[in-house]
Amino acid sequence: MGAGKSTVGKILAEKLALPLVDIDTEIQSEHQISITEIFANLGEPAFRKLEHQMLTRALLQDAIISTGGGIILSGDNRMKLEAADFVVYLKTRPDTFLARLKGDTTRPLIQEKSRDDIIALCESRTKLYESVAHLILETDELTPEEIAAQIKQAFQTRKELL
């Protein structure tokens, strides 16, 4: 959350001339309902099921895939990500992502939560993110363009080695 996945994904997709599949955007477009409304009306389990289905479809494409922060909670999703060609974890310090999320009302899991609760939520996921990532990039001091450039370079190096 707040790491820049969607922003960096757009830039990277352009740099690599690949389509971008933003899981949250695709779910909203396909179901004509916002993520916030899905959580409010159908609940988190229903959203997680849609998220899993969209990830499964997205991984069949040659594309840049931007996932939501909670996709990692599912063991099935982690297995799919571990088997994917190249997974990047955009690691971001709590102060950075909290500043980026200030005033954001579109993220249901952080509404009405304290700063400490949000930090605990994100920190509880760190080991899961790291367990599936081929590349871990600390993003706090980098612009989205710099992040995308580093990912592109690492991706191309990995492709050459395989």
Phi/psi for 93 (5° steps) reads -65, 150
Q: With pLDDT > 90 as the criterion, what percentage of the chain qualifies?
A: 67
The annotation places the binding site for Mg(2+) at 6
Q: How many domains does the chain have?
A: 1
Q: With pLDDT > 70 as the criterion, what percentage of the chain qualifies?
A: 91
Residue 54 has pLDDT above 90, yes or no: yes
The annotation places the binding site for ATP at 2-7, 107
Q: If you average pLDDT over every residue of the chain, what do you get?
A: 89
Work out the pLDDT band at 159, boundaries 50, 70, 90.
confident
**The predicted structure's pLDDT at residue 109:** 58
Q: Which amino acid is located at 74 in the chain? A: S
The annotation places the binding site at 2-7, 24, 48, 69, 107, 125
SS (H, E, C) the chain: CCCCHHHHHHHHHHHHCCCEEEHHHHHHHHHCCCHHHHHHHHCHHHHHHHHHHHHHHHCCCCCEEECCHHHHHCHHHHHHHHHCCCCEEEECCHHHHHHHHCCCCCCHHHCCCCHHHHHHHHHHHHHHHHHHCCEEEECCCCCHHHHHHHHHHHHHHHHHHC
Question: Containing domain of residue 29, as a range?
Answer: 5-161
CB 119 within 8 A of CB 1: no
**The predicted structure's pLDDT at residue 3:** 76
Q: State pLDDT tens for residues 90-123.
A: 998 878 877 766 766 666 656 667 778 877 888 8
- CATH number of the domain to which 121 belongs: 3.40.50.300
The annotation places the binding site for substrate at 24, 48, 69, 125
